[in-house]
Amino acid sequence: MRHNMDEDSGLHYAHTPVMHREVVEFIAGIARCEGDTVVDCTLGEGGHSELILGGFPDFRVIAFERDPEILEIAVKRLEAFGDRLTVINDNFANMGERLKGMEGRVRCVLYDFGISSFHLDRSGRGFSFRGDEPLDMRLDPRLETDAARIVNTAREKELTDIIHGYGEERWARRIARRIVERRGAGPIKTTGELAELVLRAIPARYHARNIHPATRVFQALRIAVNDELSAIGASLGDAVRLLACGGRVIAISFHSLEDRLVKDAFRRMAAGCSCREEPRYCRCEGPPLVRLITRKPLIPGEDEMAANRRSRSARMRVCERIGGEPSSISA
């Protein structure tokens, strides 16, 4: 992992963009496309945008980032590219509205879902349980609800639904019950308190060897706080609508819920579906809007997984715009 420091601002970041070789290859492989703009929906620390701007001198990047703190880091990192980079401090769920008028003019839309190394290692917002930080987990500090509010006010059933639905945790009901019981002695304020509670709630014989028992619970709370899955569902149709013919959407997911949303949206659009019905109920019978470049998700190479352990769960899917009117596209 590459470590960087801005000496003037004191901002530190450690970031190696996941599946960077594959991203560059799929962008380079776009042929007969009139667009010269790449939309980076998840700027983060700027790793992918840096590769794109550095590797394709004729391209410009429009980048979305909802976290103002990490946006400051990325802007500093990418300042040498001048006006070839436009940054938007907003959720990519609002991409369709923010980029209205650019339909059919974009070469590539890139997603790198989840959180960055900065959030895990340096943000101090409780994304990781390795330290003992406040239970925040907000990617955008303007959000009203943080993880502490959910943990300390949600009813047992709501907690169960969040932990099971977003974390796919088999012990969700037991963990939720322990959280509610623990609240009787006072609020749960830190990541350390919550991680210890989860550790004790799950029987020791069911603890995975290479993953902390609290991992799925923290994932579930983060997704709930930031409404991450709704953002993905809301933007994939907009992404394809923005593409010029021959342009591509590249989506990198890190858990099955994200990947399933991408897979289903790509398959519906490849089948010419412009509704949101289950495939067996769809009667759209429209022309295909995209073709699937990757029938199955790609995973990082062994060398990347060895160098960057956090890349091991990455899954990449790619589709290419082939036709259809922009107004007919819905994910």
Name the pLDDT band for 7 (thresholds 50, 70, 90).
very low
Strands across the sheet containing 106-112: 85-88, 60-64, 37-40, 106-112, 243-253, 315-321, 290-292
Same domain, 260 and 213: no
| 181 in the same domain as 43 | no
In this structure, are 112 and 128 located in the same domain?
A: no
**Model-level pTM greater than 0.85?**
yes
Of the three residues 226, 260, 294, the one that is the final residue of a domain is: 226
Same domain, 148 and 251: no
195 in any annotated domain? yes
**Which domain range does residue 209 map to?**
123-226
**Which of 46-60, 169-183, 296-310 has the least mean pLDDT?**
296-310
Domain for residue 135, yes or no?
Answer: yes
**Which domain CATH number covers 109?**
3.40.50.150
Instruction: Please state, in angstroms and rounded to a whole number, the distance separating the CA atoms of residues 63 and 73.
Output: 13
pLDDT of the residue at 330: 53
Please tell me the predicted confidence (pLDDT) of residue 2.
33
Sign of CA dihedral 238, 243, 246, 249: negative
Could you count the other beta carbons within 10 Å of the beta carbon of residue 8? 7
74 part of a folded domain: no
The domain total for the chain is 2
**Does 93 share its domain with 178?**
no
Same domain, yes or no, for 209 and 282?
no
Residue 176 has pLDDT above 70, yes or no: yes
pLDDT for res 12: 40
Contact 253, 259 (CB under 8 A): yes
Q: Please state the rounded mean pLDDT for residues 256-272.
A: 93
Q: Give the CA-trace dihedral at 180, 186, 192, 197, to 10 degrees.
A: -30
Rounded distance between C-alpha atoms, residue 216 and residue 211, angstroms: 9
pLDDT tens digits, 73-85: 999 999 999 999 9
Query: What's residue 1's pLDDT?
Result: 32
Are 168 and 205 in the same domain?
yes
Question: How many CB atoms lie under 10 A from the CB of residue 328?
Answer: 16
Residue 185 has pLDDT above 70, yes or no: yes
- DSSP type of residue 286: P
- The tokens describing 318, both together, are 């790619």
Look at 4-8, 27-31, 38-42, 228-232 and tell me which has the smallest mean pLDDT: 4-8
Rounded to the nearest integer, the mean pLDDT of the chain is: 89
Kindly state whether residue 149 falls inside one of the protein's structural domains: yes
pLDDT at residue number 147 = 97
Residues 222, 250, single domain; the answer is no
Residue 109's SS3 state is: strand
Domain assignment of residue 140, yes or no: yes
- CATH number, domain containing residue 131: 1.10.150.170
The mean pLDDT of 276-295, rounded to a whole number, is 78
Per cent of the chain over pLDDT 70 is: 89
